[in-house]
Amino acid sequence: MLAIDDLQNSVTARMQRAQGRASVSFRRRDDRTCLDRLFQEGCAKLRFPRPLGDEAPQAILINTAGGLTGGDRFGTEVDLAENAEACLTTQACERVYRSTGTDAVVTNRLRLAAGARLAWLPQETILFDGGRLSRSLDVDLAQDAELVAVEAVLFGRQAMGETLRNGHLHDRWRIRRGGRLLFADDLRVEGDIAARLAPQPAMAGCGAVATVLFTGAAPERFLDAARSIIGPDGGASTWNGKFLARLVEGTGLALRRRLEPLLTLLMGGRPLPKVWQL
């Protein structure tokens, strides 16, 4: 007869993992953009604040699991029909907690038809010590669609004095226009993240980084103003019909103070969602 300890040791524990998937589409009707289809499953929820005046519809993505850890899966799909416009953001910063070994996987898929305009504005992701995140952003754009997109990462809970001695981040972007690759980017860092980032000239020990992309008409018009907003710790450039900026700061708050005016600039002066206001 097995002892209790032997029985416990013979059973492989299966830890509960969060699964969430949300899909939303918008279309144009009576000169306004309106919700077309909505699907939400598991821990993924979408909420839609009432638009003010001529504001484009907003969708707020919520992870009711309260964060991500190893083995979690979370996916979002957004479709905009011809001439539709919308803004998608998150309720709060996403938190990636310590993993037992596997990655939390986040997949985001955006599709914009002719004349559509989308602002993809998730709030910052906080990577805790031991956290593992694999995230992808895949976008298919019609020839004259417009996209503003941002992804920002904070390496550790800076207010708690946390240092990332172990972790993994893989952030993958693929943006296509008319079926042709427009932009590809892979950010990968793992192991002792703090030690790996410290000697990098671009990071110089900073704990917060963001990538911002605009693709649409005449992106070069933003360049001078954007460089003034970003300052010396970062950079911006335009080529092949797109604007790209990298921002690095010592803290998440300092990063937010530069992101807010930069995103407002790229959105043509339209205000950021209320949930972005600290």
The pLDDT confidence band at residue 219, using thresholds 50, 70 and 90, is very high
pLDDT at 227 over 90: yes
pLDDT at 84 over 80: yes
Q: What is the pLDDT of residues 109-120, one digit of tens each?
A: 999 999 999 999
Separation CA 236–CA 234 (nearest Å): 7
| pLDDT given for residue 218 in this prediction | 94
The pLDDT confidence band at residue 278, using thresholds 50, 70 and 90, is low
Q: What is the pLDDT of residues 140-154, one digit of tens each?
A: 999 999 999 999 999
pLDDT at 238 over 50: yes
User: For residue 259, is it within any domain?
Assistant: yes
| pLDDT given for residue 204 in this prediction | 58
Higher pLDDT, residue 126 or 8: 126
User: For residue 15, is it within any domain?
Assistant: no
How far CA 72 is from CA of 90, 105, 119, 245, in Å, comes to 18, 6, 26, 30
Q: Domain count of the chain?
A: 1
| pLDDT given for residue 205 in this prediction | 61
Count helices and strands in the chain by DSSP H and E runs: 4, 17
User: For residue 26, is it within any domain?
Assistant: no
User: For residue 206, is it within any domain?
Assistant: yes
pLDDT at 5 over 70: no
pLDDT at 128 over 90: yes
| pLDDT given for residue 102 in this prediction | 94
Q: Which pTM value belongs to this model? A: 0.91
CA-wise closest residue to 169 among 154, 187, 196: 187
pLDDT at 239 over 50: yes
Q: Domain range spanning residue 198? A: 40-276
| pLDDT given for residue 35 in this prediction | 96
User: For residue 23, is it within any domain?
Assistant: no
Higher pLDDT, residue 23 or 100: 23
User: For residue 5, is it within any domain?
Assistant: no
| pLDDT given for residue 202 in this prediction | 54
User: For residue 186, is it within any domain?
Assistant: yes
The pLDDT confidence band at residue 250, using thresholds 50, 70 and 90, is confident
Bridge partner list, 59: 88
User: For residue 19, is it within any domain?
Assistant: no
Q: What is the pLDDT of residues 18-50, one digit of tens each?
A: 999 999 999 999 889 999 999 999 999 999 998
Inter-residue contact 88 to 61 (CB < 8 Å) = yes
